[in-house]
Amino acid sequence: MHELAICQALIAQIEAVAGKRAARVRQVYLGIGPLAGVEPRLLADAYPLVCAGTIAEGSRLDIEATDIRVRCRTCGAETTATPNLLICGACGDWHTDLLAGDELLLLRIELETREDAVEIADV
């Protein structure tokens, strides 16, 4: 159920970005790795509920699932892995470093700008 808390954090970040410059938010893109500890489907279910009454109401949520990649400290190979088997796909050693797969990122926001918005400031 922590997906609800994460969704609330997401809305706060969307509001900070969209702020006064946007009339409404159309689409929100997230990047979530299998090791982020977040269930994308639960996040998608919570999203419209948390959006209600905010600038993001009615917006679509697009969740890009990323792959897990590890680099072996022993043989140097970079291979894909699964959440509970993060060993090297080449030599089988467990001494690996995670290169990708634990992301929990707000990537970008597509918004409809207001007529009176002067410019899009840096976030």
Partner 1 sequence: MCKTCGCSLPRTGAGDTATVDVVARLLQANDRFAAHNRDHFNSHRVIAFNLMSSPGAGKTALLEATINALKADFRLAVIEGDLETDNDARRIRAHGIPAVQITTGGGCHLDANMIHDALHDLPLSQLDIVFIENVGNLVCPAGFDLGQHRNIVLLSATEGDDKPAKYPVMFRGADLVLLTKMDLIPFLDDFDPPSAERAVRDLANAAPVISLSARKAINLDAWEAWLRAEVAAIRSSQNATTEPHGGTHHHGHHHRPAVA
Contact between 90 and partner 1 per CB under 8 A? no
Contact between 63 and partner 1 per CB under 8 A? no
Do 81 and 68 form a contact (C-beta atoms < 8 A)?
A: yes
Q: How far is the CB of 33 from partner 1 (least distance, A)?
A: 10
3-state secondary structure 29-49: EEEECCCCCCCHHHHHHHHHH
Residues paired with 32 in a beta bridge: 65, 104
Residue of the chain from 41, 45, 52, 90 that contacts partner 1 (CB under 8 A): 52
What would the x/- binding string for partner 1 be over residues 7 to 46, using CB under 8 A? -xxx-xx---xx--xxxx-x---x----xxxx--------
Residue of the chain from 45, 57, 64, 67 that contacts partner 1 (CB under 8 A): 57
Alpha carbon distance 25, 114 (integer Å): 11
Look up residue 5 and give its two tokens: 């808390």
Contact between 61 and partner 1 per CB under 8 A? no
